[in-house]
A = this chain, B = another copy of it.
Amino acid sequence: MAGRFGILDEEKVFKDPVHRYIHVRDELIWELIGTREFQRLRRVRQLGTTYLTFHGAEHTRFNHSLGVYEIMRRMIENMEKKEPLWDPEERLVCLSAALLHDIGHGPFSHSFEKVFHTDHEEWTREIILGDTEVNRVLSGMGADFPKKVADVIAKTYTNKLVVSLISSQIDADRMDYLLRDAFYTGVSYGQFDMERILRVMRPTEDQAVFKISGMHAVEDYIMSRYQMYWQVYFHPVTRSAEVILSKILHRAKELYEKGYEFQDKPKHFSSLFAGKMTLEDYLKLDESVILYYFQEWQEEKDPILQDLCCRFMDRRLFKYIECDPSVQMEIWPELNQLFTKIGLEPNYYLVIDSSSDLPYDFYRPGEEEERLPIHLLKPNGDLRELSRESDIVEAISGKKRTDHKLYFPKDLLEDKSKFAEEKQRILELLMAQEG
């Protein structure tokens, strides 16, 4: 190892409500945590708009990133109980990648990326390889060290085992977010016995596998994941907030492109709207800044931008109905016409949102989203794919579940002081969908 980094004189410890303590002994990790790019994650929430549904979920990506690092540290410690796994540099590549895997996330990434077609993985790469404090710290380990870390996160790294510990169907990232998000939302679904999973993990060339005696702990993890997706991540109220958030960003961009005069120039957004955002611009765009603008825009002249921002800030969200896409198509033209007639731009006030999740998948080579399956290790050394051993995992394996909802401002439709008839018709059309 060429690097200048060593071991801290005194182990640093962070009190963490999920893992109790997070332990840092490597100077490299300690310095990475202190970089401004990493500290910025304190201003980006882990679960975006979920705090508007589960008020406890106000935790940030800073919080989660430390957790992923800690799980990785424990994974390595466990796998090294019998013999050293890697040389010291590989270990630090792995820990750094765990800590930094989310470093490129921007504010409310989910909606942000959909509207602006940016990609946090790209930004992650730039932060690690570009002119940043993170890069300077990593480079202290050797000139090619940052590239290695970036490759792990991009899943192109040569050591596939390292990649799998961070990105696979059972990795440090997922384990932390399930436990952490369950903790902060207060739901009981996200619990599983991580300690046992870590203890039955065994390294192979390509990925970590799990001793079959720990199968039920792995099953439990898959079930937790399934429950968290539908109970928390895809919660319809959260999606309503996401819909409004996207529409705000859309509207601001549209107005900007049309040459609309904002009361205060949205300077933090200019390069973004103009499609030429630099890394420096991006790093300034944290959630405080976004919320600052939303507050400002509550007083804009444009009624759509103004209304949507008030809705977001004061949590007056859209209501929804379940909608079957095929059936719903039939009423779509009429609904559109009616919305336009009553002065609600359908593009902003009549929104379909679809969520889908594939809780676990076995290996399907060549398919779009190829996933490495989870393997169990039998006492005789054979490997068995999880869904062949577990009835309940088999039951949900490869089954994508999709859910469609139609969001709209019910409050406005219930105000019958104007367009009473049209609004009545809209409500009838919508309610008929619900069946």
Contacts and interface: CB of A to CB of B under 8 A. Distances in A.
A80 interface: no
B13 A199 contact: yes
Contact of A187 (B52, B186, B193): B193
Interface string A190-208: 0111011001000000000
A21 B185 contact: no
B59 A63 contact: no
A119 interface: no
Interface residues of A, number: 69
User: Top 9 A-B pairs ranked by shortest CB distance?
Assistant: A395-B395, A17-B186, A288-B291, A292-B292, A288-B288, A36-B314, A17-B56, A188-B193, A15-B186
A227 B219 contact: yes
A284 interface: yes
Given A16-B186, A34-B315, A395-B392, A55 B51 contact: no
A52 B42 CA distance: 9
A395 B394 CA distance: 8
Contact of A62 (B55, B291, B391): B55
Interface string A276-302: 000000001011111110010000000
Given A63-B58, A289-B292, A185 B17 contact: yes
Contacts of A287: 288
A17 B193 CA distance: 12
A316 B58 CA distance: 23
Residue of A34, A40, A51, A392 most packed against chain B (CB within 10 A): A392
Nearest to A35: B314
A401 interface: yes
Given A55-B14, A59-B56, A186-B17, A216 B193 contact: no
B392 A396 contact: yes
Complex copy number for this chain: 4
20 contacts: A16-B186, A17-B56, A18-B186, A21-B195, A34-B315, A35-B314, A39-B314, A39-B315, A42-B52, A42-B315, A55-B66, A56-B63, A58-B63, A188-B191, A189-B216, A191-B191, A220-B227, A223-B392, A287-B288, A391-B399
A43 interface: yes
A69 B91 CA distance: 32
Contacts of A58: 42, 58-60, 63
Given A287-B288, A289-B292, A313-B39, A15 B56 contact: yes
A94 B97 CA distance: 40
Contacts of A219: 227
Interface in A32-82: 34-36, 39-40, 42-43, 51-52, 54-56, 58-60, 62-63, 66, 81
Contacts of A391: 395-396, 399, 401
A117 interface: no
A4 interface: no
Contacts of A11: 81
Contact of A15 (B18, B21, B62, B185): B185
A231 interface: yes
Contacts of A290: 288
A61 to B, nearest CB: 11
Nearest to A56: B17
Given A18-B186, A56-B59, A191-B191, 17 more contacts: A15-B187, A17-B56, A17-B185, A21-B195, A34-B316, A55-B62, A55-B66, A188-B193, A216-B227, A216-B231, A287-B288, A288-B291, A288-B295, A292-B292, A392-B395, A392-B396, A395-B396
A258 interface: no
A157 interface: no
A228 to B, nearest CB: 10
